[in-house]
Amino acid sequence: MGSPFKTPGTLSWHELTSNNCKDSMGFYGEIFGWTFKKMNMPQGPYYIIENQGISIGGIAPNPCSKMPSHWTGYITVADVDEVAIKAKTLGGDLLYGPEDIPNIGRFCWIQDPAGAIIAAITYKNRDE
């Protein structure tokens, strides 16, 4: 298999939406040896998770503190807009997006008919 950032259907990114990013980074850093790089985004800070120098995911502040902290997997797709339309056609809900992430790609969050949430993403040129 090729790069997870280029292979449709591949789980390519893991994102934690946390009610306490500092505590989450301390916990996962101790357990897995992950390190974190802070990025300033329009919505606030975003922390890239690195494992042995490779970016594998991110941690972001939870925009709704009433929701528990949660992990979301990002699946690489060829066309995120097409996936969003297809998800709705198949009885799912579009929770967020599609929206562009500057210099990264385009993504959306979808909820399947049973209530599970996952994200779809089309990356711009990624070399990893």
Q: How large is the average pLDDT for residues 31-50? A: 93
The answer as to whether 56 is a domain residue is yes
The model's confidence at residue 122, banded by pLDDT at 50, 70 and 90, is very high
Instruction: Tell me how many helices (H) and strands (E) the chain has.
Output: 2, 8
Per the structure, the complete domain to which residue 54 belongs is given by 11-123
Looking at the structure of the chain, the number of domains it has is: 1
24's enclosing H/E stretch is helix 21-32
Q: Is residue 108 part of a domain?
A: yes
Task: Convert the pLDDT of each residue in 46-91 to its tens digit.
Answer: 999 999 999 999 999 988 778 899 999 999 999 999 999 999 999 9
* pLDDT for position 90: 97
Q: What is the pTM of this model?
A: 0.84
Tell whether 36 is covered by a domain: yes
Mean pLDDT, the chain, rounded, equals: 92
CATH number of the domain at 40, please. Answer: 3.10.180.10
